[in-house]
Amino acid sequence: MRTLILGGDGYLGWPTAMRLAVRGDDVMVVDNYLHRTLARETGSEPLMPTPALLERTSLFRAVSGRDVAVEIGDCTDQSFVDRIVDQFQPDAIVHYAEQPSAPYSMMGHVEAKRTLENNLGTTFAVIWAVMRHAPDCHIVKLGTMGEYGTPNIDIEEGWIDIAHNGRHDRFLYPRQGGSLYHTTKILDTDLLWFYVRTHQLRVTDLMQGPVYGVSTAEADCDERLAPRFHYDDIFGTVLNRFLVQAVAGIPLTVYGSGGQTRGFLNIEDTLQCVELALRTPAPAGDMRIFNQFTERLSVREIARRIADVGNRMGLDVRLTTVANPRLEREEHYYNPRHQGLLNLGLQPRYLTDDVVADLLERVRRHCHAIDTRCVMPRVRWVRE
**Which residues sit at the interface with its own copies, rule CB under 8 A?**
78, 106, 109, 112-113, 116, 120, 124, 128, 132, 151-154, 160, 162-165, 167-169, 171-172, 174-177, 180, 183, 186-187, 190-191, 193-194, 197-199, 327, 333, 381-382
Q: How many CA atoms lie within 13 A of 109 on its CB side?
A: 0
State the nearest-atom distance from the C-beta of 100 to its own copies, in Å: 17
Our CB check for its own copies shows the closer of 112 and 238 to be: 112
What residues pair up with 169 in beta bridges, in sequence order? 162
State the nearest-atom distance from the C-beta of 260 to its own copies, in Å: 16
Dist CA 297 CA 302 (whole Å): 7
Which are the catalytic amino acids? 144, 181, 185
Our CB check for its own copies shows the closer of 46 and 325 to be: 325
Our CB check for its own copies shows the closer of 52 and 162 to be: 162
β pairing state of 202-208 and 287-292: parallel
Our CB check for its own copies shows the closer of 165 and 347 to be: 165
Cβ atoms within 10 Å, residue 337: 12
Q: Which long-range contacts (CB under 8 A, 24 or more apart) does 77-82 make?
A: 77/125, 78/125, 78/128, 78/129, 81/122, 81/125, 81/126, 81/128, 81/129, 82/125, 82/128, 82/129, 82/132, 82/133
| Residue 204, SS3 per DSSP | strand
State the nearest-atom distance from the C-beta of 118 to its own copies, in Å: 13
Cβ atoms within 10 Å, residue 43: 12
State the nearest-atom distance from the C-beta of 99 to its own copies, in Å: 15
Q: Position 306: which residue type?
A: I
